[in-house]
């Protein structure tokens, strides 16, 4: 056998080297593939675990949401039950309030009917010309108000016309226990000008200052007496209770409801005289029902000490006092002043009388 030459040997060696190199590279590639495959399996396992975890979380979350929804539904049903019960109680309370209001109105009507009956019975024994009077012992008092801002309805007013507070001395006199009634007016004048007619014991209204003086002149002619309108100072002194004054805001009370027919309780009309509480002197309706004409011309107060003041010597308006069925409570205060043209016939304007009096 002939020995291979050098070239053949070299070629063979190179062939074996390449073969073993290929085997070595293939082995390395295989190992890399195995490693990558293992990594893929690991990632798949992680992904699967994560997916299972997410599904479990979603399931738990849905379970909790379902529980909350059921609780909300139960709570809503409970609230509906409570609301229904509350609505029923509110309805019952409203019915009770309405029933109480009806009873209150019936009591007012009964009281007024009783007052009218007593008035008619009293009228059978005496003439309507008999004006029941209350003696007011003279004395000194503080007339007016320190002033300030008050609210009447939705408006604000500066009550400058009620100041300054000043000392006034009043001589004794007698004043009507009640406002002059429609029956008393008709007895003298032969007719009834009142808008709220049909109530003989209600105060006469829709009368001007001039009308009132015609009535007084005829009344004095028929009775031989000397009736007149009160001065503004006499009116306020009597309204405040004279020497028996307790310093009330209204005539006889700090609670307007107890002594006055005014816009909040009048039902938009006048009421029989004497159906509210009297003041300290036993005089009725000096707060509310109708405004009352006074003899004075309207003017500003003087700040000095005065005795039996008679108001301004001249003017355009005459004074009215006492509040009315259609006015705010603030206008029913004892110091509050109103005024109007002497020829004006207002549905809220009435009057009471005064006599120079002996006790």
Preceding omega of 164 cis (within 30 degrees of 0): yes
- Phi and psi torsions of 20, nearest 5°: -65, -30
Model confidence pTM above 0.75? no
Closest CA to 259 of 229, 356, 246: 246
Tell me the pLDDT of the chain (359 aa) as tens digits: 444 455 555 555 555 555 555 556 566 667 777 777 777 777 777 666 665 656 666 667 777 777 777 777 777 677 677 778 778 878 887 887 877 777 877 777 776 666 656 655 554 444 557 899 999 999 999 999 887 766 666 666 667 889 899 999 999 999 999 999 999 999 999 999 999 998 999 999 999 999 999 999 999 999 999 999 999 999 999 999 999 999 999 999 999 999 999 999 999 999 999 999 999 999 999 999 999 999 999 999 988 899 999 989 899 999 999 999 999 999 999 999 999 999 999 999 999 999 987 54
Element (H, E) at 80: helix 6-125
The tokens for 158 are 């500066």
CB 116 within 8 A of CB 201: yes
* CB environment 147-166: b (16+ within 10 A), e (fewer): eeebeeeeeeeebebbbeeb
Q: How many residues does the chain have?
A: 359
Q: What is the DSSP string of 194-239?
A: -SS-S-TTSBP-S--HHHHHHHHHHHHHHH----BPPPHHHHHHHH
Phi, psi of 137 (to 5 degrees): -70, 135
Q: Evaluate whether 325 touches 350 at the Cβ level (below 8 Å).
A: no
Q: Which residues have C-beta within 8 Å of that of residue 344, sequence separation ≥ 6?
A: 208, 209
Distance (Å, rounded) from C-alpha 160 to C-alpha 28? 113
Decide the pairing of beta strands 318-321 and 337-340: antiparallel
Let me know: does 243 contact 137? Beta carbons within 8 Å: yes
Cα–Cα distance measured from residue 94 to residue 2, given in angstroms and rounded to the nearest whole number: 134
Q: Tell me which CATH code domain 131-355 carries.
A: 3.90.1580.10
């Amino acid at each position: 056998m002939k020995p291979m030459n050098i070239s053949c040997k070299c070629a063979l060696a190179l062939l074996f080297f390449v073969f073993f190199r290929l085997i070595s590279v293939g082995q390395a590639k295989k190992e890399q593939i195995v490693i990558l495959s293992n990594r893929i399996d690991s990632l798949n396992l992680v992904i699967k675990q994560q997916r299972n975890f997410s599904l479990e979380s979603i399931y738990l979350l849905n379970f909790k949401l379902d529980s909350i929804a059921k609780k909300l539904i139960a709570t809503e049903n409970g609230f509906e039950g409570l609301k229904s019960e509350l609505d029923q109680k509110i309805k019952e309370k409203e019915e009770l309030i309405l029933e109480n209001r009806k009873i209150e109105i019936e009591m007012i009507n009964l009281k007024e009917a009783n007052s009218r009956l007593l008035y008619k019975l009293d009228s059978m024994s005496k003439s309507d010309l008999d004006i029941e009077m209350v003696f007011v012992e003279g004395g000194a008092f503080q007339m007016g108000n320190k002033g300030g801002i008050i609210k009447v309805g939705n408006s604000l007013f500066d009550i400058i016309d009620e100041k300054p507070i000043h000392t006034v001395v009043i001589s004794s006199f007698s004043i009507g226990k009640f406002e002059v009634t429609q029956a008393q007016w008709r007895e003298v004048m032969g007719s009834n000008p009142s808008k709220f007619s049909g109530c003989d014991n209600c105060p006469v209204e829709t009368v001007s200052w001039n009308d009132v003086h015609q009535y007084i002149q005829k009344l004095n002619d028929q009775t031989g007496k000397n009736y007149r309108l009160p001065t503004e100072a006499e009116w306020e002194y009597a309204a405040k209770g004279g020497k028996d004054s307790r310093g009330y805001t209204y005539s006889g009370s700090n609670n307007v409801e107890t002594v006055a027919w005014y816009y909040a309780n009048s039902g938009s009309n006048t009421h029989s005289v004497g159906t509210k509480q009297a003041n300290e002197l036993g005089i009725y309706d000096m707060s509310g029902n109708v405004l009352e004409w006074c003899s004075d011309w309207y003017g500003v107060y003087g700040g000095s000490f005065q005795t039996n003041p008679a108001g301004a010597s001249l003017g355009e308006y005459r004074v009215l006092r006492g509040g009315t069925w259609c006015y705010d409570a603030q206008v029913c205060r004892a110091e509050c002043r109103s005024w109007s043209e002497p020829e004006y016939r207002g549905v809220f304007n009435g009057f009471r009388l005064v006599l120079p009096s002996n006790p």
